[in-house]
Amino acid sequence: MKNIFTEHPNEVGESYLQHFGQALGFCLLLLSLSFKALVHALLPFCYVTDVSDRILTLSKGMQKRRDQAKEEN
């Protein structure tokens, strides 16, 4: 029987709690980045490249995790 809470975490080589921690970390990071983007929208001289630079780094890290999970499966 499928367990909807562990199916995806298992696919990426994590337990439910490990996946929860990773996803929560991404959530908090994106929340802070959205705040910086809002400040940048109002004050274009603030956080000029911070958000886009961090999103690129985040994307590369997530792709690396995805690739590693595929190798393990």
Taking only the tens place, the pLDDT of each residue in 31-73 is 999 999 999 999 999 999 999 999 999 999 888 888 887 787 6
pTM: 0.77
pLDDT at res. 30: 95
Residue-level pLDDT at 73: 66
The torsion defined by the Cα of 55, 14, 18 and 58, in degrees rounded to 10, comes to -10
Map out the domains of the chain as residue ranges: 7-72
- What integer pLDDT is reported at residue 70 of this predicted model? 78
Calculate mean pLDDT across residues 4-22.
92
Residue 29 tokens, joined: 């990071």
